[in-house]
Amino acid sequence: MTIPESPTEVVHQDDSIEPDTPDVEAERRQRRRRSLIVTAGVLVLFAIMWFIATSTSGSVANIFASVIRAAVEPQTAAVAIAVIGLNIHFGFTGLLNIGQAGFMLLGAYGFAISLSRGLPLPVAILLGIATAAVFALLLGIPTLKLRGDYLAIVTISAAEILRYVGRLSQLTSWTGGSQGLPGSEYRDPFVALSFFPEGNTTIGPLSYQNTGVNGWWIRVVAWVLVLICTAFVFLLVRSPWGRLLRGIREDEDAIRSLGKNVFAVKMQALVIGGVLGALGGMIFVLPSSVQADSMGRAMTFFIWTALLLGGAATIFGPVLGTILFFAVRILIRGVTSEVVPASILNTQQSDQFSWVVVGIALMLLVIFRPQGILGNKRELQFNA
Amino acid sequence: MLSGIDIEVSGPDGDQLLTTGENGGFLLQVGQEGEYVLRLVEDTLPEGVTATNAELTFKAALAANDTIQFTPRAVNFGLQGTVEGAAVGVGSNLFLQSTVSGLRLGLLLALAAVGLSLIYGTTGLSSFSHAEQVTLGGMVAFMMVNWWGLPFLLAAVLTVLVCGFTGYIQHVILWKPLRRKGLGLVQLMIVTIGLSLAMQYMFQVLVGAGTVRVIREAPTPVTFGGVRLTDQSLWAMGIAVIVLTAVGFALLRTRLGRATRAVSDNPALAEASGIDVDKVVRLVWIIATALAGLAGIMLALVLNGIKWDSGMQILLLLFAAVTLGGLGTAFGALIGAIVIGLVVELTPVFGLPGDLKYAMALLILILLLLVRPQGLLGKAARVG
């Protein structure tokens, strides 16, 4: 049995053979147009689901409403920010960080513990960021001079060590041990910042408290932060420094021979991506609680899936990939539990089955479209 | 061992008070799933003994039968001190017991790690789904014994064959075509992450999220030289030693074994010398998955059951073992696995919290990579 080539890929292989001729600019314009079309297509799909969810009733409307709710969850935004960070590591610099959840966990602990000890909000945010930056330095100093897979082993191991330490019963007074820190211990200063009026607001299938624990306030803040991070990465990778990152990804020795300090640039990329991961971790725990196990290996794998789905080394890919990752899983779950009778798969099994589909989708995606939805195949000839 | 120590148990079942028996162990029967807290009543400790970890929390998951038994050893509480001249905690007996446990874990890890290392050596792939191949062994054995009523030994042999067959199938439909297609190692690694995710949740759909036991009957304890083990553990260790010896002999003495080592060393050169690399790689996949399956069966026996994430729990220990010994060297993986097993089981003996035993193994891995990136048996090569 052979695996058939997908038609889209053939098209890509064709244009990747073309040499770097003056129509690079034309190609870039074409790519930008394609990205816009894809993004618009996804938006139209969501609009159709929105329309069906609000104008009809029944199981289809319910499924679509839950898909839309999953897409705007603050946790989706939080993961999107972590994915944007990983995109700087892997997409632009080619660093194999398999411990992004560890950065999220550190950010979350730094933030939540500072707040629960009564420190002001800005200080807590800075402390969360600083712990992640220090963690990045500690990981980077020994490994960034070695081959790529050493960084991979060290990051995944270090993230696991963090998780085990966070669960330690001896540290219960700080981290809450395996029970975790409840959101009520650190959430109030953030909720108090809300300038939204009292009450509830309903827009289509979305109905939340204006402020509340998990309402519009955290959603608006989280998604605005996603936009800011996206804009930040957009400016960053267009700068001379961003070109240096891609250069390192493509050919480290060439950059070194130009007299650049490759180690320092890689380290800067590791720190910046890790800090974004920490920001994601802070948003992730605001509507819920700090649980070491919620930011373990599984989270890292989801982050990778979302990045590859959207397209590594693209600007909007991480955001699009994350939204699709969470929305499509809810869609699969809803459709499975609707279509398959409960005697074969019960509700819990439908949920588990949706993860099976996610795993298989990740495999197929990497096999048939390694550049993701928005990516450019030529940019991703990465081979560590 | 300490007898007559009171332990308070609280959990969803209500509270109970237990007293340790003559061998220092105690038996806890619970009838409900959930989190249980064991608290050592420190007043009942003999003079001169202290507990570094007086409170233990663990989750109890029920198997098909209604009660589950725990025999946590006193070592879990990190007891230290001396009674009547004999050291408790870091005493000879406990030290010996933990050393034997560590050896047992190390041998089981070695079965899986040798396969992982052979795969890495011949194809360059870090296979994250190898952990699920381990779980698969336990799960298939569980199904054969408990669903289809096969006798255990027959089921064990069939399980190893089935697991080896999954390796063959994977090689034919996944890894060989993908290598032909020229997919990079990073993408291949992510394909294994997808496979691992799909398999984990497939186990949950089929068997459920709880722990299942392959053999229901309680194992018979065997005592010799002050060390208590179950007969199943003794069998598992014996079989592991025999199988590992056979694999080692095959690698050193047979034609195919030499060919395998040649491919590990330099695939291009091996191919040029007339070795059928494809055949070797196919064999490596079959052997590796069969060994992982065997490890899974024995892990299910030794750990009193297997769960959908049992493999994932030891995945990083496997990677640590492989990296510690030297990436791609089969004998290095063996030594690495024994070292990791000993570190894991001896960590609590030296007074460190039992929760940290996995973290300690990973920490040692990171520290070793700093001073000797090529691992214990790896050849020193320029890695960056």
Distance (Å, whole) CA A294 – CA A285: 10
CB contacts, 8 Å: B193 with chain A: 301, 304, 362
pLDDT in tens, B108-152: 999 999 999 999 989 888 899 999 999 999 999 999 999 999 999
Question: Chain B: nearest CA to A179, how far in angstroms?
Answer: 10
N- to C-terminal Cα separation, chain B: 51
Contact B191 A366 (CB under 8 A): yes
- Measured CA to CA, the distance from residue B153 to residue B237 in angstroms comes to 16
What mean pLDDT comes out for the span B74-82? Answer: 48
Q: What is the mean pLDDT of residues A210-227?
A: 92
| Element holding B21 (H helix, E strand) | none
Token readout for B72 is 């946590």
CB contact under 8 A, A153 and B205: no
Is it the case that residue B13 has pLDDT exceeding 80? no
Contacts of A164 in chain B (CB under 8 A): 355-356, 358-359
Contact A147 B383 (CB under 8 A): yes
Quick one: which of B246, B205, B183, B226 has its CA closest to B96? B226
- pLDDT tens digits, residue range B23-49? 555 556 665 666 777 777 766 766 656
The confidence score (pLDDT) of residue A149 equals 75
Rounded CA separation B292/B129 (Å): 11
Tell me what pLDDT residue A367 has: 87
Nearest of B46, B108, B44 to residue B81 by alpha carbon: B46
Find out if CATH 1.10.287 is the number for domain B95-371.
no
Q: What are phi and psi of A176, to 5 degrees?
A: 80, 5
Question: How far is B275 from B260, CA to CA, in rounded Å?
Answer: 9
Contacts of A277 (CB under 8 A, 6+ apart): A81, A82, A85, A86, A100, A101, A103, A104, A107, A132
Put simply, the answer to whether A308 touches B53 (Cβ < 8 Å) is no
Q: Of A3, A167, A362, which has the smallest distance from its Cβ to B177's Cβ?
A: A3
Position with higher pLDDT, B288 vs A17: B288
What is the Cα–Cα distance from A281 to A273, expressed in whole angstroms? 13
Interatomic CA distance for residues A95 and A89, integer angstroms: 5
CA distance B231 to chain A (A): 32
Per-residue pLDDT at A16 exceeds 60: no
Give the C-alpha separation, A180 to A182, whole Å.
Answer: 6
The pLDDT score that the predictor gives to residue A72 is 92
In the structure encoding, which two tokens stand for residue B188, read together? 């291949």
Whether A366 sits inside 8 A of B190 (CB atoms) is yes
What is the pLDDT at residue B64? 39
Q: What angle do CA B360, B373, A307 make, to 5 degrees?
A: 75
Task: Give yes or no for residue B223 having a pLDDT over 70.
Answer: yes
Our measurement of the distance from residue A146's CA atom to the centroid of its chain's CA atoms, rounded to an integer in Å, reads 26
CA distance B274 to B194: 35
Q: Where are the domains of chain B?
A: 6-89, 95-371
Residue of B56, B316, B383 lying closest to A156 (CB–CB): B316
At B103 the three-state DSSP class reads: helix
- Are residues B89 and B50 in contact, defined by beta-carbon separation less than 8 angstroms? no
Q: Which of B201, B312, B373 sits opposite A359 (nearest CB)?
A: B201
Confirm or reject contact between A147 and chain B (CB < 8 A).
yes
Instruction: Give the pLDDT confidence score for residue A340 in this predicted structure.
Output: 85
Instruction: Spell out the long-range contacts of A339-346 with Cβ–Cβ below 8 A and sequence spacing 24 or more.
Output: A345/B205
- Cβ of B185 and A305 within 8 Å? no
Q: What is the mean pLDDT of chain B?
A: 81
CB-CB contact of A95 with A269 (8 Å) = yes
Indicate if the alpha-carbon torsion angle B161, B164, B165, B166 is positive or negative: positive
The alpha carbon dihedral of B221, B224, B228, B229 has a sign of negative
Check residue B234 and report its DSSP letter. Answer: H
CA distance A96 to chain B (A): 9
Residues of A in contact with B194 (CB under 8 A): 305, 359-363, 365-366
- Kindly tell me if the per-residue pLDDT of A247 is higher than 70: yes
Segments making up each domain of chain A, as ranges: 57-193+204-378
Torsion on CA atoms B107, B108, B110, B114, rounded to nearest 10? 140
- What is the Cα–Cα distance from A206 to A222, expressed in whole angstroms? 16
Partner-chain contact B194 A146, CB within 8 Å: no
Q: Would you state the pLDDT for residue A228? A: 97
What architecture is domain A57-193+204-378?
Orthogonal Bundle (1.10)
Q: Does residue A142 belong to the interface with chain B, where contact is any CB pair within 8 Å? A: yes
Q: What whole-number distance in Å separates Cα of residue B352 and Cα of residue B305? A: 26
Residue A211 amino acid letter: T
Residue burial A55-68, b: 16+ Cβ < 10 Å; e: rest: eeeeeebebbbbbb
For residue B370, which of A213, A224, A141 has the smallest C-alpha distance?
Answer: A141
Say whether B369 and A366 touch across the interface (CB within 8 A). no
The whole-number pLDDT of residue B216 equals 78
Q: Which of B362, B364, B368 would you mutate first to test chain A, the one with the most A CBs within 10 A?
A: B362
Any chain B CB within 8 A of the CB of A145? yes
Q: What is the 3-state secondary structure (H, E, C) of chain A?
A: CCCCCCHHHHHHHHHHHCCCCCCHHHHHHHHHHHHHHHHHHHHHHHHHHHHHHHHCCCHHHHHHHHHHHHHHCHHHHHHHHHHHHHHHHHHHCCCCCCCHHHHHHHHHHHHHHHHHCCCCHHHHHHHHHHHHHHHHHHHHHHHCCCCHHHHHHHHHHHHHHHHHHHHCHHHHHHHCHHHCECHHHCCHHHHHCCCCCCCEEEECCEEEECCCCCCHHHHHHHHHHHHHHHHHHHHHHHCHHHHHHHHHHHCHHHHHHCCCCHHHHHHHHHHHHHHHHHHHHHHHHCCCCECHHHHCHHHHHHHHHHHHHHCCCCCCHHHHHHHHHHHHHHHHHHHHHHHCCCCCCCHHHHHHHHHHHHHHHHHHHHHHCCCCCCCCHHHHCCCC
Q: Looking at the predicted structure, is the pLDDT value of residue A239 above 50?
A: yes
- Tell me which chain B residues have a C-beta less than 8 angstroms from the C-beta of A358: 197-198
Tokens of residue B25, six digits? 């162990």
Contact B359 A164 (CB under 8 A): yes
Give the angle A6-A8-A9 at the CA atoms, nearest 5°. Answer: 70
pLDDT tens for B272-313 read 999 999 999 999 999 999 999 999 999 998 887 899 988 888
How confident is the model over B356-363, as a mean pLDDT?
Answer: 86
pLDDT at B291: 96
H/E element, B88: strand B86-88
Residue of chain B with shortest Cα separation from A5? B181
Please report which confidence band the pLDDT of residue A2 belongs to, taking 50, 70 and 90 as the band edges. very low
pLDDT band (50, 70, 90) for residue A5: very low
State how far the alpha carbon of A287 is from the alpha carbons of A66, A69, A78, A191, A212, in Å: 18, 15, 11, 10, 9
Q: b or e along A315-324 (b: 16 or more beta carbons within 10 Å of the residue's beta carbon)? A: bbbbbbbbbb
Q: Render pLDDT for A253-282 as a digit per residue (tens, 0 to 9).
A: 999 999 999 999 999 999 999 999 999 999
- CB contact under 8 Å between A345 and B205, yes or no, is yes
pLDDT value for A170:
82
One-letter identity of residue B36: Y
For B233, the token pair is 């553990």
Are B73 and B7 a contacting pair, CB within 8 Å?
Answer: no
Task: DSSP for B304-364, please give it.
Answer: TSB-TTHHHHHHHHHHHHHHHH-TT-HHHHHHHHHHHHHHHHHTGGGT--GGGHHHHHHHH
Contact flag B57-A356 (C-beta cutoff 8 Å): no
Which residues does A358 contact at the CB level (< 8 Å), separation at least 6?
Answer: A305, A325, A329, A332, B197, B198
Residue A138, CA atoms < 13 Å, CB-side half-sphere: 15
What's the CA gap between B359 and B118, in Å, rounded? 25
ipTM of the complex: 0.81
For CA atoms A253, A254, A256, A260, the dihedral sign is negative
Confirm if B275 and B259 have CB atoms less than 8 A apart.
yes
